[in-house]
Structure 1
């Protein structure tokens, strides 16, 4: 019964479709016979619907693929533009770093030149002081000679007057000096008096010449003092300008500058030399320092402090491990682990560059490990001063050995992809007393200094 109803329903549909799709026959002829296939309206409608659906599906699929291709092309172009912009910024930062390093080197050269000028001026000042002392000694001798000569002249004049009086009105006893003897004595005394007067005039001229020379030397000393004051002022200003960024660098890295400088000073405190006698002035006390000597000692103290800063900076990881351009792919802090998954602490900084890029030590130190370490791959660990340790992981080649002493800027390996890594990069760590800290803190702190 159900089959009859279904057949009737299909027959009615076939009849209704016959108005629009009349029955057609498809003849198939062979050599022996001819056959035909009857295409009912319902069969034609089903074939037409299937064809229409297939064409519609093909159009929709083609549109979707075209839209995806256009969208992916825009994303790739945008990624290329961002990459180009990022590379240009990195190049600009590297150029700025090089310019600042060149400016620091030029400032250091100017400072060394000024220090040489100070040394020359001090030598000239000491030589002029020695000449002044010699002239003062000569003046003292000349003044004593002049006083003695004047006293002898006055005595000779008094004796000449006395003898002249005796010669003019002599009425004494018969056994007194004869007039001829008195005249001869007077002539001798007159000649001696003239000679003494000439010597006095010559001594006076010498004294005047010496006084003029002393005044010229005093004027030169005043000029030297002014030049020394200008040089000292320039040096003090240069020292202040040089000290400020160094102090800011250590404070930006979270370091106690006094503690670090004291530790450096303790390690570089050797003194000695032969025993020399104590210099004593004419008053019996130790020689007092002049104001210029006090300023020079203060400048030397500041220079010593800058030298201590330089030594400490070489022993701390302020330099960058890569000198070529790189991309910061993963900062310090918590992140999703790239291979193991899950939120984990990233105890360093990842820097990506080309395979084989040179890797350099960021401070002076001793190589503790230079071997394969699980997770790090080929890894180098360097122990520095003040309880600081740096690690360099995922290398392709290690160029140092354990126990080797390295300096800041020495090449210790090449960038690679060893260990637990998803691509070529450097994993750089800084640890203070065993605790990991952000390496970029040190690199950013020294950006305006090195």
Structure 2
């Protein structure tokens, strides 16, 4: 039955693919191979299948290569934009700090000039009061002297009349000459006092004008400082908001994280120096600008604490090259044993030997072979977190070694219980597995 079917197929294909014979000739004999129409058809089909498979594989490889190149370019662009944003914020912060320092110096100079002018004004006022008192005394003396002069003149006229009546000539008494000298002295003193009074009044008016100009300049400096402080406060608020959202999206309390980091980075010290006492009193309160500057310093310190905390938590991705997300966190069908099992991590598939990086700062607690995981690296982080990297081809760290976020810790492989080259990545909090994508997604809009 099978031979009859094969014969019919050969007859049907013989119209298009006639039977061929391949002769093989040697020194002693000649042989030939018979190629039936069915054999020729199978050969052509096999060749066409191989060509189609090669074309499809080439297309897939080209697509993956182009896709991975686009992802790398996009990641580089995002990293460049983030670096540019950080550099711009740092430049604005430095420029604003320099402007604040310059404005504070100008303000202190203006306040010193105002203090000096106020001292001169008070001295001028004191001198003016002394001159007014002296002028009042001189006026009283002048009135008394003028009264004595008038009385002396009247007496001189009386004596002159008496002498003329008696026919004798009497010279004017010495008291009249003394009165004339006294009047001349007092007149000169009054003129000098009036000139000095006018000079003091002009100096006082100039001092008031300078004080008003300095007050106006101080007001302009205050408005400019207020604009600078407002810009800095807005920039810091914009910088802190995404970091705060990132920690909240990861299910972490920002207050607890910041307090934990602050406790770990709170060292102070220095040589003992003599205590200097201020001569201005102990009740000098800080100015509003000093309070706002102190608040900005606290905000900058808070951003630094956020940065330190972010480096200690697994917000980064373990792979920096192109990969496929092949298995999520949660219950799934076991790839080798079957049945529903809990998958306590996520799987990333890429090429054999792809570099694997630490997702946060920490200490390597395991670097070796573990049943099921194959070649495994375990890293202990702050806040009770732990990350695991399984199925490696090669481990590049040792137990007890301290690593930083982004350090290369191994190469992707297929060791342990695995169906192909991939990375099994876990995040555990106090020993309990959690979804690693929670941390990766939380940092997606920040890093």
The TM-score normalised by the length of structure 2 is: 0.75
Give the corresponding residue for 2:312: 315
Counterpart CA distance in 1 for 2:441 and 2:370 is 29
Counterpart CA distance in 2 for 1:423 and 1:407 is 29
Per-residue deviation, 1:352: 3.1
Q: Is the 8 Å Cα contact of residues 352 and 424 (structure 1) preserved in structure 2?
A: yes
Counterpart CA distance in 1 for 2:392 and 2:6 is 62
Per-residue deviation, 1:316: 0.7
Per-residue deviation, 1:72: 8.1
Q: List per-residue Cα deviations over 1:229-260 (Å, max 9, x = no partner).
A: 22122122212211221122112212222222
Q: List per-residue Cα deviations over 1:153-194 (Å, max 9, x = no partner).
A: 3333333343233234337999x9934334334433333333
Q: CA distance change for structure 1 residues 280 and 50 in 2, over 3 Å: closer, same or farther?
A: closer
Out of 145, 150, 158, the position equivalent to 2:140 is 158
Out of 126, 149, 173, the position equivalent to 1:167 is 149
Q: CA distance change for structure 1 residues 348 and 148 in 2, over 3 Å: closer, same or farther?
A: same
Give the corresponding residue for 2:83: 105
Counterpart CA distance in 2 for 1:405 and 1:278 is 48
Question: Is 1:95 the counterpart of 2:78 in the alignment?
Answer: no
Question: Is 1:116 the counterpart of 2:94 in the alignment?
Answer: yes
Q: CA distance change for structure 1 residues 146 and 74 in 2, over 3 Å: closer, same or farther?
A: farther
Counterpart mapping for 1:39-50 below 5 A: none
Out of 132, 138, 141, the position equivalent to 2:123 is 141
Counterpart mapping for 1:319-330 below 5 A: 319-330=316-327
- Secondary structure of the equivalent of 1:170? helix
Q: CA distance change for structure 1 residues 50 and 344 in 2, over 3 Å: closer, same or farther?
A: closer
Q: Structure 2 unaligned runs (5+)?
A: 14-35, 157-172
Q: Is the 8 Å Cα contact of residues 153 and 176 (structure 2) preserved in structure 1?
A: no
Give the corresponding residue for 2:250: 253
Out of 21, 46, 55, the position equivalent to 2:11 is 55
**How many residues of Structure 1 are paired with residues of Structure 2 in the alignment?**
400
The TM-score normalised by the length of structure 1 is: 0.75
Out of 297, 300, 307, the position equivalent to 2:297 is 300
Question: Is 1:132 the counterpart of 2:114 in the alignment?
Answer: yes
Question: Is 1:243 the counterpart of 2:240 in the alignment?
Answer: yes
Out of 318, 322, 329, the position equivalent to 1:332 is 329
Counterpart CA distance in 1 for 2:301 and 2:243 is 14
Q: Which stretch of the first structure deviates more once superposed, 125-134 or 72-81?
A: 72-81
Q: Is the 8 Å Cα contact of residues 118 and 228 (structure 1) preserved in structure 2?
A: no
Per-residue deviation, 1:93: 4.1
Q: List per-residue Cα deviations over 1:382-411 (Å, max 9, x = no partner).
A: 111111111222334333332222222223
Out of 368, 377, 381, the position equivalent to 2:374 is 377
Q: Is the 8 Å Cα contact of residues 111 and 235 (structure 1) preserved in structure 2?
A: no
Counterpart CA distance in 2 for 1:152 and 1:106 is 74
Q: Is the 8 Å Cα contact of residues 114 and 231 (structure 1) preserved in structure 2?
A: no
Q: Structure 1 unaligned runs (5+)?
A: 1-46
Per-residue deviation, 1:308: 2.1
Q: Which stretch of the first structure deviates more once superposed, 244-253 or 185-194?
A: 185-194
Q: CA distance change for structure 1 residues 223 and 53 in 2, over 3 Å: closer, same or farther?
A: closer
Question: Is 1:402 the counterpart of 2:384 in the alignment?
Answer: no
Superposition RMSD on alpha carbons, in Å? Answer: 3.7
Q: Is the 8 Å Cα contact of residues 100 and 449 (structure 1) preserved in structure 2?
A: no
- Secondary structure of the equivalent of 1:350? strand
Per-residue deviation, 1:48: 9.0
Give the corresponding residue for 2:409: 412
Counterpart CA distance in 2 for 1:120 and 1:288 is 24
